[in-house]
Amino acid sequence: MTLFASVTIGRGLSESVIRLRSVFEAKKIVLIILLLFFIIFMSVNPLLNRFTKTYTEGRHSFIATYEFKLGSWLKEHTLPYEVILSDYRTMYLLNGLSNKISIVNEDFLSTRLPKKDQKFIAYIKQEIFINKNPEKIGELYSMIELPWFEQRYLKSIQRYGVQEINFLVIITPRTCEWLSMRGISDVIYPKWNNCRNYEKIIKDFIQSSSLTLIYNDTINDVYVFKYIKGRILDENEPFKTSSS
């Protein structure tokens, strides 16, 4: 009886071990399959993103192709001492791409700028763009306080006979998005085809006697206007300067 019980228990344990091993093997196979699916997904996902709307909307880049193209055009066809007026992010990007004077301090976010620079950007947005009043551009000459890193450059170009500083007003889909937002909030990622609500501003700027259209990318809604009432620089102090 004891021998029979021992054999029975032994056989039962053996079958249990076999079943457990089978279950483990099945789980192991499932885990391997899931791991393979994960690896395949992680490999294919970047390719899918590259050729989908998500990528083309700029979520994987801080600068759009049309902005890079514009920066190259500005560098080649405009003067380095002309000043860009637009949303802060556009000014931040294009100043570097086109070698232009920065009229505010530089930081990644406009909210980190000194208060005086934030007020300056707010003035550009409200008075020039939203109120559709390019005549207000002329008042900027008395408002600008150049950052310390631009002072030496400005003095050097005066020695070479440069006597006029002018403004370039730039509108892009990024600018249009900025105009739809509250305050001076930054548009971190580039935008596309969203200037329909601001066609009136663009039309008024085109018809303005103070501006002349010098660049127009109709496919991407990019406009560059030159302020035609540039101011003659004072030899001693063309703009106020900031030590911050």
50-59, 128-137, 187-196: least confidently modelled range = 50-59
Q: Note the pLDDT tens digit of each residue in 188-206.
A: 988 888 898 899 999 999 9
Q: Enter the pTM of the model.
A: 0.71
* Cβ-contact 188, 161 below 8 angstroms: no
19-28, 146-155, 173-182: least confidently modelled range = 19-28
Mean confidence (pLDDT) of the chain? 79
Q: What is the pLDDT of residue 58?
A: 46
Q: How many helices (H) and strands (E) does the chain have?
A: 8, 8
pLDDT higher for 70 or 148?
Answer: 70
* Cβ-contact 180, 237 below 8 angstroms: no
Q: Note the pLDDT tens digit of each residue in 204-242.
A: 999 999 999 999 999 999 999 999 876 555 544 445 545
Is residue 22 scored above 80 in pLDDT? no
Q: What is the pLDDT of residue 23?
A: 58
Beta strands in the chain (DSSP E): 83-85, 145-146, 164-165, 167-171, 211-217, 222-227, 231-232, 240-241
